[in-house]
Amino acid sequence: MSSLTFQSTRPSLVKTVALTGNPNSGKTTLFNAFTKLRQKVGNYPGVTVERKTGTLMLAKDRVVNVIDLPGMYSLAVRSPDEQLARDVLMGRTVDTPKPDLVICVVDAGNLERNLYLVSQLQDLGLPMVIALNMMDEVERQGKEIDVARLSQALGMPVVPTVASQNKGIEKLKQIIAEGVTVFYQRGWRMAPDLEEEVEHLVRLLVQHEGMDRHQAFAEALILLSLGAKLKNEEKKAGPAQWFYKEELIRQINMVQDRLRLKGLRARTAAIEARYGWIKSILKQCVRDKNKRGEDLTERIDGIVTHKLWGWVFFLGIMALMFYMIFTIANYPMDWINAGFTRLGDWVTQTLPEGQLRNLIVNGIIAGVGGVVIFLPQILILFFFISLLQDTGYMARTAFIMDRVMSKVGLHGKSFIPLLSSFACAIPGIMSARTIESPKDRLVTILVAPLMSCSARLPVYTIMIAVLMPAATGMQKAGIMLSMYVLGITGACLMAWLFKKTLLRSQKPVFIMELPPYRWPSWHAVVIHMWERSRLFLKRAGTIILALSVILWVLMSYPRHEGLQGSDALKASFAGRMGTALEPVIKPLGYDWRIGIGLIGSFAAREVFVSTMSIVFNLDDEAGENTLREAFQAAHWPDGRPLFTPLVCLSLMVFYVFALQCVSTIAIVWRETNSWQWPLFQFVYMAILAYLAALAVYQLGRMMGFS
Amino acid sequence: MPENCKTISLNKMSVGQKGRIREFVVESDDCERIEEMGVTPGEQVEVVRYAPLGDPIEIKIRGYHLSLRKEEAALIQVEVLS
Ligand SMILES: Nc1nc2c(ncn2[C@@H]2O[C@H](COP(=O)(O)OP(=O)(O)OP(=O)(O)O)[C@@H](O)[C@H]2O)c(=O)[nH]1
Ligand SMILES: [Mg+2]
| Contacts with B62 from chain A: Cβ below 8 Å | 110, 112-113
Question: Would you list the domain boundaries of chain A?
Answer: 6-184, 192-263
* Residues A369, A617: Cα–Cα separation, whole Å: 12
Q: Range with the lowest mean pLDDT among A230-239, A443-452, B71-80?
A: A230-239
DSSP for A66-109 reads EEE----S-SS--SHHHHHHHHHHTT--TTSPPPSEEEEEEEGG
Element (H, E) at A145: strand A143-145
Pocket flag, ligand 1, residue A431 (CB < 6 Å): no
Q: What is the DSSP letter of A354?
A: S
Alpha helices, H only, A210-328: 213-224, 246-262, 266-285, 296-304, 309-326
Pocket flag, ligand 1, residue A109 (CB < 6 Å): no
Q: How many CB pairs under 8 A join A and B?
A: 121
Please identify, by atom number, the ligand 1 atom nearest to the C-alpha of residue A392: 27
- Please state, for a pLDDT cut of 90, what percent of chain A lies above it: 28
Residue A290 has pLDDT above 80, yes or no: no
Q: What are the residues whose beta carbons fall under 8 Å from the beta carbon of A76, sequence distance 6 or more? A: A222, A225, B32, B33, B36
Taking the Cβ of residue B74 and every Cβ of chain A, the question of whether any pair is shorter than 8 Å is answered with: no
User: Which residue from A minimizes the CA distance to B50?
Assistant: A305
Residue A168 has pLDDT above 50, yes or no: yes
Residue in A676, A198, A653 with CA at minimum distance from that of residue A452: A653
Element (H, E) at A685: helix A676-702
Cβ atoms within 10 Å of B44's Cβ, excluding its own: 14
What are the φ and ψ backbone dihedral angles of A75, each rounded to 5 degrees? -75, -20
At A254, is the pLDDT very low, low, confident or very high (cuts 50, 70, 90)?
confident
Q: What is the pLDDT of residues A475-507, one digit of tens each?
A: 888 888 889 889 989 999 999 999 888 777 777
CATH of domain A6-184: 3.40.50.300
Element (H, E) at A397: helix A393-408
* Residues A51, A438: Cα–Cα separation, whole Å: 20
- pLDDT reported for residue A563: 66
Residue A538 has pLDDT above 50, yes or no: yes
Q: What are the residues whose beta carbons fall under 8 Å from the beta carbon of A180, sequence distance 6 or more? A: A8, A9, A101, A127, A128, A129, A156, A157
Is B24 within 8 Å of B39 (Cβ atoms)?
no
Taking the Cβ of residue B37 and every Cβ of chain A, the question of whether any pair is shorter than 8 Å is answered with: yes
Q: What is the pLDDT of residues A582-609, one digit of tens each?
A: 999 989 989 888 998 888 888 788 888 8
Taking the Cβ of residue A337 and every Cβ of chain B, the question of whether any pair is shorter than 8 Å is answered with: no
Residue B45: beta bridge partners?
Answer: B19, B61
Distance from CA of A111 to the nearest CA of B (A): 9
Please identify, by atom number, the ligand 1 atom nearest to the C-alpha of residue A70: 25
The minimal CB distance from B32 to the residues A109, A268, A400 is found for A268
Which residues have CB less than 5 Å away from ligand 2 (the ion)?
A 27-28, 47-48
Report ipTM (2 d.p.).
0.94
What are the φ and ψ backbone dihedral angles of B8, each rounded to 5 degrees? -135, 170
Is A8 within 8 Å of A183 (Cβ atoms)?
no
Residue in A40, A20, A15, A14 with CA at minimum distance from that of residue A85: A20
- Which residue from A518, A519, A525, A527 has its CB within 8 A of the most atoms of ligand 1, so it is best to mutate? A518
Q: What is the pLDDT of residues A214-244, one digit of tens each?
A: 888 888 887 776 655 555 543 333 444 455 6
What's the one-letter identity of residue A356? L
Please identify, by atom number, the ligand 1 atom nearest to the C-alpha of residue A47: 24
> What is the β-pairing status of strands B57-61 and A286-288?
unpaired
* Residues A654, A687: Cα–Cα separation, whole Å: 10
Pocket flag, ligand 1, residue A26 (CB < 6 Å): yes
SS3 A387: helix
Output the average pLDDT for chain A.
85
Domains defined for chain B, CATH in brackets: 6-80 (2.30.30.90)
DSSP for A173-224 reads HHHHHH--EEEEE------HHHHHHHHHHHHHHHHHH---HHHHHHHHHHHH
